[in-house]
Amino acid sequence: MRLALLSLDSIVGDLAGNAARIRAAAEPIAREGVPLIATPELSLLGYPPRDLLLRTGLIERCIEATRALAVDLARGGAGESAVIVGTPWPCESGAGISNACVVLRRGAVECVYRKRLLPQYDVFDEARYFAAGHQPLCIDVMGQRVGLLLCEDLWRGEDVGEGTYFGDPVGDSVGEGAHLLVAMSASPFFAGKHVQRLRVLHAAAQRVGRPIAMVNATGANDDFIFDGGSCVLHPDGRGAFTQPFGDDQLRTALDVREQAPAAAAEADELARAVVAGIRGYVRKTGHRGVLLGLSGGIDSALLAALAVAALGSDAVRGVSMPSQYSSEGSRSDAIDTAKRLGMRSPDLLPIHDLHVLARQHLGAHCDLSGLTDENLQSRLRGITLMTLSNATGALVLSTGNKSELAVGYATLYGDMVGGLAPLGDLTKRQVYAIARRVNECPQVIGLSTAPIPPSSIEKPPSAELRPGQVDQDSLPPYDTLDAIVEGWVDEERTVEEIATRNALDLSVVRRWTRAIDAAQYKRFQAPLILKVSARAFGPGRRMPLAMRWTPDAR
């Protein structure tokens, strides 16, 4: 039997556009006689729909769009194929809605499968909106029984080390006579996720002795990035595969038995993920382009490279905003970055005169020494960027990384301004690793030449807000800081565990874990952060702002 897995990039709420995308992908394949075509979870509405699901009339429109799509597919030559489409659908009882997939065949909705396991961890909150289904569903395709699953029904949280469920949708489908299992997913990316997915999928196929086909979404919606990576995996571990972040739809015969492709290096997949996240957010929100402060440092240089890879050089505008403390090397590195990327030369808008005026205006009312003056400079840069954004319609990209955001080494309404923080889930170590990788192999992100000036990578990182300043005046070495951030945020370890695992002084770990918790109010006001780790700042880490708990509390 032949089947097709369509890793579509849906736009949340765009019922007509998503239906058109499904038709454009499915109809040519169906006309070739492929009898089974599957699309990702909630492919018609887009994932994640969040509180859009609470809007009056939405479900009725989803039903109308689904039935109209069935008719249109039949008219377009896809009537004899079973086309599986993800959409919200009323519960069997009529009360509430389910996260469902519908089988469209011969111009009608043939049957409906309702997702049985609803994830309630990390970024997921499906029980807020959906009621769980209770029954397995198998359909007949060319004499084969095909069991349908939706995302968590297959993964059961095992791909992220979360989730405790009653029931076994995979086993139940086999109990209903399934020869093949097809899982529709909208499984968000994080570093290493694809390898974990294949491991879980292989274990499930081995357990039940059946091949499993998985179709995953691609593109990005808000902070979610989807890597595609659809596949058919047999119990022996072989099958048919697409590369993560590729554009290929998987069209294959069920009996194909190829080896899984080698896993990509972390820096490669992180770079591709951020590119996909920038492209998805900017294009789907309709912005005319992006702009960012080009300081000559590593963060802004890498972000400029990833933005150009996502949108093209004409859509990315750099702004150089030197102060009296900015080095000549930083200014020249900013110009070099733009030149390497084919951008126009950065707009030169020094903040010195603004800084003098602001100090004159405010100096009689407050002490402008130290950190207050440093933050004032950062906020003047923020004003500059947001004014240009208002005037041009370009989206400001914040250049901050996870290490800085974690401990509050970032200025509210200053370097934190913007609509999107593409690097906000990358530690400083990862920023350096990706920068070196894209310089070594720019083709990883679709560029032809090394995009980042070597001096931006080699020089000590500095905000240049006072004479001779470097980050390590205020922070521990980034290797130390990142070990603490990863242990406290990503892994939820204790202070003692972090200190022991990394051979760090307990007082250092205690100081910086307290700083992470104290900076939560800043992150609450941060731009949208693209999720590329297992635990990103944002919806998946909802910490209180006004709290007095500490690890030492008794």
Q: Is residue 541 in some structural domain? A: no
Determine the 3-state secondary structure of 532 from DSSP. Answer: coil
Greater model confidence, 248 or 262 = 262
Q: Is residue 299 in some structural domain? A: yes
41 counts as catalytic? yes
Domain identity same for 237 and 281 = no
Q: Is residue 523 in some structural domain? A: no
Least confident of 43-57, 129-143, 241-255, 428-442: 241-255
Domain identity same for 140 and 167 = yes
Which secondary-structure segment (H or E) carries 383? helix 371-392
What's the angle, vertex CA 435, arms to CA 460 and CA 429, rounded to 5?
60
> Tens digit of pLDDT for each residue in 519-532?
999 999 999 999 99
Q: Is residue 489 in some structural domain? A: no
Q: Spot the catalytic one: 41, 152, 269, 486.
A: 41
151 counts as catalytic? yes
Domain identity same for 46 and 150 = yes
Name the residue range of residue 357's domain. Answer: 269-471
Q: Is 236 exposed, middle or buried (0-12, 13-18, 19+ CB in 10 A)?
A: exposed
Contact 457, 450 (CB under 8 A): no
Domain endpoint, select from 223, 254, 285: 254
Domain identity same for 227 and 288 = no
Domain identity same for 298 and 171 = no
Domain identity same for 306 and 218 = no
The pLDDT of residue 10 is above 70 = yes
The pLDDT value given to residue 157: 64
Which secondary-structure segment (H or E) carries 110? strand 108-114
Domain endpoint, select from 254, 284, 304: 254
The pLDDT of residue 425 is above 80 = yes
Domain identity same for 246 and 308 = no
Q: Is residue 546 in some structural domain? A: no
Residue 101 belongs to domain with CATH number: 3.60.110.10
Domain identity same for 290 and 388 = yes
Q: What is the mean pLDDT of residues 122-139?
A: 94
Residue 279 belongs to domain with CATH number: 3.40.50.620
Contact 226, 530 (CB under 8 A): no
Q: What is the mean pLDDT of residues 107-124?
A: 94
CB atoms near residue 169 (< 10 Å): 26
Q: Is residue 398 in some structural domain? A: yes
CA torsion, points 530, 532, 538, 541, in degrees to nearest 10? 180
Q: In what order do the strands lie in the sheet with 36-38?
A: 108-114, 97-105, 82-90, 36-38, 2-5, 250-253
Domain identity same for 210 and 123 = yes
The pLDDT value given to residue 467: 85
Q: How far is CA 312 from CA 205, 272, 275, 445, in A?
A: 42, 15, 11, 12
Domain identity same for 293 and 437 = yes
Q: What is the mean pLDDT of residues 361-387?
A: 95
> Tens digit of pLDDT for each residue in 447-495?
999 999 999 999 988 887 788 888 888 899 999 999 999 999 999 999 9
Q: Spot the catalytic one: 27, 151, 152, 284.
A: 151
Q: Spot the catalytic one: 115, 284, 402, 531.
A: 115
Q: Give the integer Cα–Cα distance in Å for 205 and 181.
A: 9
The pLDDT of residue 299 is above 90 = yes
The pLDDT value given to residue 63: 97
Where are the extended beta strands (E) located within 271-320?
290-293, 316-320
Domain identity same for 361 and 289 = yes
Q: What is the mean pLDDT of residues 384-413?
A: 96
- What average pLDDT does the structure give for the chain? 94
Domain identity same for 97 and 187 = yes
List all residues 6 or more positions away from 551 whose beta carbon is below 8 Å from its beta carbon. Answer: 494, 495, 510, 513
Least confident of 82-96, 141-155, 198-212, 243-257: 243-257
